[in-house]
Amino acid sequence: ASTASAATIVEHTFYVQNLTVSKLCNSQVITAVNGSLPGPTIDIQEGDTLIVHVFNKSPYNLTIHWHGVFQKLSGWADGPNMVTQCPICPGSQYTYKFTIIEQEGTLWWHAHVSWLRATIYGALIIRPRAGQSYPFPKPYEEILIILGEWWNANVVDVQNQALATGVLPNISDAYTINGCPGDLYPCSKNQMYKLKVEPGKTYLLRIINAALNNQLFYKIANHKMTVVATDACYTKPYVTDVVVMSPGQTVDILLTADQQVGSYYMAARAYASVAGAVIPFDSTTTRGVVVYEGAPSSATPVMPALPAFNDTPTAHKFFTNITGLVGGPHWIPVPLMVDLQMFITIGLGLEVCPANTTCEGPIGTKLSASMNNESFVFPISLSMLQAFYFNVGGVYTTDFPAKPPIQFDYTNASFNINNPSLFFAPKATKVTKLKFDSTVELIFQNTALLAVENHPVHLHGFDFYVLAQGFGNYNPATDRKKLNFINPQIRNTIGVPVGGWAVIRFRANNPGVWLMHCHLDMHLSTGLATAFVIENGPTPETTLPPPPADLPQC
């Protein structure tokens, strides 16, 4: 994808199949793309058209999502199962086709059905158009760092166990850097990612958090990092010694090899933010090594001191200090008029255990999750986008509430089984219908009813401005003064702070059905989701085209 002329087509073929890999003294069957973990990197320029032929040779239903891609008038290629398509059944195929418009940076792709994204994921790098450059000095080299999560088990079994019995998913056995667990895990001395650097040179590290259920701290011993983009949106350069990422998020940093010639570990481990460790999490550490050219091979690398798992002040500092690059490539000023404002509680609750099942939650219940007391259910007979396009009723309803049924008060929120509201949420497929090109403001309130943790909310199809965030109850009288309309960071996934709130804004200028959900898969599959149905605009250029002929049918 490097010709100077416009309209290049970049074509890939993904063969998705089971393979056996050895990790952590264990041999495990996983489902992966083209036999590799992570899967193939897609490297493309802004303005190019991407065509990916997906052949499902695995035993599972499959879809692929292009996380963060706007999908302008190509909603049929977005990928969430039963939202924009029916699954690609075992033995079938589907071709995803879309053009990358008005965005550049580090994104990624992943399976968007069951928990298969644990092993079906890869990077999607969008470079500036020919003749355009980065808004920072050209790096000597570009490096991909994909953080993942690994189970010594089949992830579909892990998911089924978690969803059947309720509260406690099997925690993962390792974190990985580019598929490698690193030398702190058993049998992994030779499975450690190594980055070779030349003294004095500056590298662009494109970091992706592809973990399933964990936010991660990432650090490189003795080195500062300069953040230049988040979620494929340029930022004002921000210098830090630690990066925090929710699943779904990406961070681009500049790393200069400006320390003494030697070797230095890079390491990642969970930011779990769970008060009193109510929910078990994988507390292990993955590491790789940065080796300077000329470093003695005998030297023991320096280990970075990672923040404690529950170091919310450090996480919050990172999440809130980043600002957008005003006037940089693709920068659009914040729309100041809002057509629709919604207040959305997000959090965990419980549901009654189905008959003939044993659930492990309090009083024999199992975990449920909701937004505004609605626990999202994926349709089964027809995808929501087909229902929208062909005007078929009965697949979803457009009555998702614009505010919760009770006035939520964090200071009084506690585990109270007798208070059913927000705790025992009904299950349905409720969406919000939006007029084409309306500006929407969402105020998220983390309920922290069951566990105090940060929820990474991801919106499909759009970037949004993060206008403000904080702890405790959102209070309009004082908190609206904190909204940043000048240089807010722009993202597609926001970690709504533990027991806190966040205000985001986006322009609904793309017709179709767009999922919004917590990017912790345990929470997505227990209902922490909703969707926006955006009506067609007035012209053919603002109308969703018909589905491709090979769109999978249910």
With binding defined as CB under 6 A, does residue 111 bind ligand C2O? no
With binding defined as CB under 6 A, does residue 208 bind ligand C2O? no
Are 531 and 513 in contact by the 8 Å Cβ rule? The answer is yes
Contacts of 377 (CB under 8 A, 6+ apart): 427, 428, 429, 527
Q: Write the secondary structure of 414-462 as one string of H (helix), E (strand) and C (coil).
A: CCCCCCCCCCCCCEECEEEEECCCEEEEEEEEECCCCCCCCEEEEECCC
Q: In the complex with ligand C2O, which residue's Cβ is closer, 269 or 460?
A: 460
Q: How many residues of this chain interact with ligand C2O, rule: CB under 6 A? A: 11
DSSP 3-state helix, strand, coil percentages of the chain (rounded to 5)?
A: 10, 40, 50
Q: Spell out where 112-230 has E strands.
A: 121-127, 141-150, 174-177, 194-197, 202-209, 215-220, 225-230
Q: In the complex with ligand C2O, which residue's Cβ is closer, 223 or 517?
A: 517
Q: Which residue is nearest to ligand C2O (CB)?
A: 67
What is the closest distance, in whole angstroms, from the C-beta atom of residue 528 to ligand C2O in the complex?
11
What is the closest distance, in whole angstroms, from the C-beta atom of residue 541 to ligand C2O in the complex?
26
Q: Spell out where 282-339 has E strands.
A: 285-292
Task: Tell which one of 23, 458, 505, 523 touches ligand C2O (CB under 6 A).
Answer: 458
What is the closest distance, in whole angstroms, from the C-beta atom of residue 194 to ligand C2O in the complex?
28
What is the closest distance, in whole angstroms, from the C-beta atom of residue 22 to ligand C2O in the complex?
28
The phi-psi region of residue 89 (left if phi > 0; otherwise alpha if psi is between -120 and 50; otherwise beta) is beta
With binding defined as CB under 6 A, does residue 523 bind ligand C2O? no
What is the closest distance, in whole angstroms, from the C-beta atom of residue 70 to ligand C2O in the complex?
14
Which one of 257-265, 272-280, 432-440, 514-522 is the stretch in contact with ligand C2O (CB under 6 A)?
A: 514-522
What is the closest distance, in whole angstroms, from the C-beta atom of residue 514 to ligand C2O in the complex?
10
Q: How would you label 488-517 residue by residue, b for 16+ Cβ within 10 Å and e otherwise?
A: bbbbbbbbbbbbbbbbbbbbbbbbbbbbbb
Q: Which of 48, 57, 46 is nearest to 13 (CA)?
A: 57
What is the closest distance, in whole angstroms, from the C-beta atom of residue 248 to ligand C2O in the complex?
5
With binding defined as CB under 6 A, does residue 460 bind ligand C2O? yes
What is the closest distance, in whole angstroms, from the C-beta atom of residue 67 to ligand C2O in the complex?
4
Give the distance, in angstroms, between the CA of residue 488 and the centroid of all CA atoms in the same chain: 19
Q: Write the secondary structure of 17-65 as one string of H (helix), E (strand) and C (coil).
A: EEEEEEECCEEEEEEEECCECCCCCEEEECCCEEEEEEEECCCCCECEE
Give the distance, in angstroms, between the CA of residue 178 and the centroid of all CA atoms in the same chain: 17
With binding defined as CB under 6 A, does residue 248 bind ligand C2O? yes
Which one of 25-33, 55-63, 260-268, 515-523 is the stretch in contact with ligand C2O (CB under 6 A)?
A: 515-523
Encoding tokens for residue 360? 């492990």
With binding defined as CB under 6 A, does residue 112 bind ligand C2O? yes
With binding defined as CB under 6 A, does residue 515 bind ligand C2O? yes
With binding defined as CB under 6 A, does residue 455 bind ligand C2O? no
Site for ligand C2O in 67-106 (CB under 6 A): 67, 80
With binding defined as CB under 6 A, does residue 65 bind ligand C2O? yes
Q: Which of 359, 387, 437, 429 is nearest to 168 (CA)?
A: 359
Binding-residue pattern over the window 399 to 418 for ligand C2O, x denoting contact by CB under 6 A: --------------------
Which one of 166-174, 187-195, 316-324, 513-521 is the stretch in contact with ligand C2O (CB under 6 A)?
A: 513-521
Encoding tokens for residue 260? 């003494």
What is the closest distance, in whole angstroms, from the C-beta atom of residue 122 to ligand C2O in the complex?
12
With binding defined as CB under 6 A, does residue 517 bind ligand C2O? yes
Contact residues toward ligand C2O (CB under 6 A) are 65, 67, 80, 110, 112, 248, 458, 460, 515, 517, 519
